Amino acid sequence: MFNISHMKKTIIPLVASCACSLCAQSVEVSQYGKTAAGEQVEQYTLKNASGMTIKAITYGAIVTDLIVADKNGDFDNVLLNLSDIAAYEADKGFMGPVVGRYGNRLNRSQFTISGKTYTVSANEGKNSLHGGVEGFNKKIWKAKKLQDEAYVGVEFSRVSPDGEMGYPGNMAVAVTYKLTNQNEFIIEYKATTDKPTVCNLTWHPYFNLAGAGNGNVLTHHFYVAADRFTPVNNELIPTGEQVSVRQTPFDFTQASVTIGERLLQKHPQLDIKMGGGAFDHNFVLNKPVDAFGTACIVYNPKNGRKLHVQTEEPCLQFYSGQGFDGTIKGANGKPYYKFAGFVIEPQHHPDQPNQPNFFPPTLLVPGEVFTSKSVYAFSTVGGKGK
C-alpha cells in the first residue's frame, strides 16, 4: 500500500544547485524515420541526472518511451509504444500522442457556436474522437530544444489551419515537455485562435508500470481523486449526468484498490457495447476548477514504481486497455494483450460543447489564451535494503 496523506501538495521543480546537475541533464536530437509521404521525423531524447529518459517524436508529438527506475534501480519503459514510424502512421489507437483539437468525444461530430453548427471529422461511427481521422496525432510538429537548471525539454508547435477536420479558425498550438531532476514529466499546453473554436488538448499515453509488454495492469493499485463520474450511453457519449462513485466499481478513492478488483464488480456501465466490458469513462476531479491538484496515483506493488499525476484540468478520462488482443506489438517485440496498459487523460469534459451542464466551457475565442499544465511524477516505494 502507498501513502496518499500528502497527495494535495503541489510539486514544484527544484532548481539545481550547481553546474554539475545541469551537466548531468541532456537533450539530444536524432532522425527517427520518414513518413510514407517522405516527411522527415525527428526524435528528441531527454535525460535527467538520475537516468530517467523521455523520447518524443515530431510526428504527433508522440512520446515513444518513458524510461524510469523501479525500487531496485532497474530501468524499463513504462509506456506502450510501437516499432517505427510506419506503425505510428497506421495506428488508430492513439499510442502516445497529443490529441486535438478536441480530445475525447463529440456527439454526432457536431457543435454550435453563436448559432452556427460545425460538423467535424467522424472517426467513431457518427461521432468524433480525439480530433477526427487526421487530428493532431497525425501531423508533423515543429520542435525546439529547451534546457535550463531546472529541466531539459522540447517544445512542439504547429498551426492548425481554419477548416482542418472541420474546426473553425487558425489555431496556434504549443505543447512543451519538460523533465526535471525530481523525476517529473511536465506537460504545458498553450493555444490561441483567430476565430471562435473549441479546444480540449490532452496527452494519450498507455501506461504499464511493470514495463511495456510485461503482463497486464490489473494488479496496479489505482487512486482517483474524484467522487463523481459521468455515465455514458452505448456510444460512449456522456448522458449529461454526474453521479457518485460510492458503492460502484468507479470508486477508486481508496489507495489499496486495484483495477482488477473493480472489474470484478457488476455494473451496467462496465458492459457498454463500445466500451468492451471495462472502463472508458470520465471522472470529475474533486479539486476546484482550474486549481492545480491531484488527479490520480498509480502504484505497482511488485516493483515499487509509483506515478502521481497532478493537473489544472477539471477531469480525468480513464481507459483500462481492453481493446488489445495480441495483434499489436511494441518496439521490443512483445505483443500487447487485453489490459496491457491503461490510459489516463487530464482534460475537460467529453462532449462539453453539447453538454451545457458540464463546466468549465471549452470555447476558445480570439484574444484569449488557452493554457494548461499536468505533471507526471515518478517515484518508488521500498527497495534494496529497505
Cβ contacts of residue 291 below 8 Å, gap of 6+?
A: 312
Q: In the chain, where are the structural domains located? A: 19-380
pLDDT of residue 141: 99
Q: CA 316 from chain center: how many Å?
A: 9
At position 363, the amino acid (one-letter code) is L
pLDDT tens, residue by residue, 323-373? 999 999 999 999 999 999 999 999 999 999 999 899 999 999 999 999 999
Catalytic residue from among 221, 313, 345, 348: 345
3-state secondary structure at position 241: coil
- Asked if 297 and 307 count as a contact pair (C-beta separation under 8 A), the reply is yes
Tell which residue, 175, 146, 180, 229, has the closest CA to residue 68. 180
pLDDT on residue 384: 66
Kindly give, in sequence order, each residue whose CB lies less than 8 Å from that of residue 23, ignoring residues fewer than 6 positions away. Answer: none
| Residue 202: closest CA among 23, 373, 347 | 347
Q: With bands split at pLDDT 50, 70 and 90, how would you rate the model's confidence at 1?
A: very low
| 204 assigned to active site | yes
User: What percent of the chain lies above the pLDDT cut of 70?
Assistant: 93
Tell me: the pLDDT tens digits for 162-210?
999 999 999 999 999 999 999 999 999 999 999 999 999 999 999 999 9
- Is residue 280 within 8 A of residue 93, CB to CB? The reply is no
User: What is the per-residue burial (b if ≥16 Cβ within 10 Å, else e) of 323-345?
Assistant: bbeeebebbeeeebebbbbbbbb
The single residue of 130, 184, 204, 313 carrying the catalytic annotation is 204
Q: How many C-beta atoms lie closer than 10 Å to residue 234's C-beta?
A: 10
221 catalytic residue (yes or no): no
Check residue 281 and give left, alpha or beta (phi > 0: left; psi -120 to 50: alpha). Answer: beta
Is 50 exposed, middle or buried, given 0-12, 13-18 or 19+ CB atoms closer than 10 A? middle
**Predicted TM-score (pTM) of this structure:** 0.94
Beta bridge partners of 350: none
* β-pairing verdict for 171-180 and 151-160: antiparallel
- Distance (Å, whole) CA 224 – CA 318: 10
In CATH, what is the architecture of 19-380? Distorted Sandwich (2.70)
User: Does 13 score more than 70 pLDDT?
Assistant: no
How long a stretch of residues is the chain?
Answer: 386
Over the Cα atoms of the chain, what is R_g?
Answer: 20
> Do 172 and 157 meet the contact criterion of CB atoms below 8 Å apart?
yes
Say which residue the cell 532522425 belongs to.
31
The Cβ-side half-sphere exposure at 75, using a 13 Å CA radius, reads 11
d(CA 44, CA 305): 24
User: E strand or H helix at 89, and its extent?
Assistant: helix 85-90
Amino acid at 294: T
For 204-257, write each residue's pLDDT tens digit: 999 999 999 999 999 999 999 999 999 999 999 999 999 999 999 999 999 899
The three-class DSSP label of residue 5 is coil
Looking at residue 24, its pLDDT comes to: 87
